[in-house]
Structure 1
Amino acid sequence: MSLEAIEKVTQVENEVRERRAAAEAEAKQIIADAEKEGQALLQRQRSAGAEAGRELLRQAEERAAAAAKKTAQAAEADAAKLRETAEKHLDAAAEFIVGRVVKH
């Protein structure tokens, strides 16, 4: 083999090594970038999940407050009706009691 052919083979081998090293470095960079993007996406999803959880809790609290208010209003209305009914029968109850006391 001539000196020129040996130099050419050596040059090609060096180029191949350089290309391989560059390809490996690029692959490592792609992997590092993908991991970085994956971690960022994971963090965004966790944040979004936490925010969604807070929003669901807020909505549940609103519904519970509305239900409690409605229940309190219904209880107030029932109490008013019972008071009204009791007041209507107050005179009759007083007469009944007086009548029982006087007879005995």
Structure 2
Amino acid sequence: MSLEAIKQITDTEQQYQQRKKEAAANAQKLIIDAERGGKAYLEKAKMDAETEVRSLLNDAEKKAAIQAAELMNNAQIRCESLRQAAEQRLDQAVSRIVERIVSV
């Protein structure tokens, strides 16, 4: 083999080693970028999920408050109705008690 051929082989091997190092560095950079991108996507997904959960909780609390107010209003109406019915019967009850006392 001539000296020129050996030099060409050596240069080719050095170029190969350099390209191999560059490829490894590029692969490492791609991995790091992918990990960063994945972490950023995960954080955004978490924040979006938390926002949605807060929104759902707020909606549920509003609905619960409306239902509680309706139940309270219905209970008050029912109580008022029972009170009025009791007041109407109060006169009858007093009359009966008086009748029993007088007739004894």
Q: Distance in 1 between matches of 2:71 and 2:49?
A: 32
| Corresponding residue number in structure 1 for 2:65 | 65
| Corresponding residue number in structure 2 for 1:88 | 88
Per-residue Cα deviation, 1:30-50 (whole angstroms, up to 9, x for no partner): 000000111111111112222
After superposing the two structures, state which structure 1 stretch, 48-57 or 26-35, moved more.
48-57
Q: What are the ranges of 5 or more consecutive residues in structure 1 without an aligned counterpart?
A: none
AA at the equivalent of 2:49: G
Per-residue Cα deviation, 1:38-65 (whole angstroms, up to 9, x for no partner): 1111111112222222222212211211
Identity %: 38
Q: Distance in 2 between matches of 1:28 and 1:51?
A: 34
Per-residue Cα deviation, 1:10-49 (whole angstroms, up to 9, x for no partner): 1111111111110110000000000011111111111222
Cα deviation for residue 90 of structure 1 reads 2.2
- The 3-state SS of whatever aligns with 1:99 is helix
Q: Distance in 1 between matches of 2:102 and 2:44?
A: 83
| Corresponding residue number in structure 2 for 1:15 | 15
Q: What are the ranges of 5 or more consecutive residues in structure 2 without an aligned counterpart?
A: none
- The 3-state SS of whatever aligns with 1:33 is helix
| Corresponding residue number in structure 1 for 2:51 | 51
Q: TM-score, normalised by structure 1?
A: 0.92
Q: Distance in 2 between matches of 1:52 and 1:30?
A: 32
Aligned residues between the structures: 104
Q: CA RMSD in A?
A: 1.2
- The 3-state SS of whatever aligns with 1:83 is helix
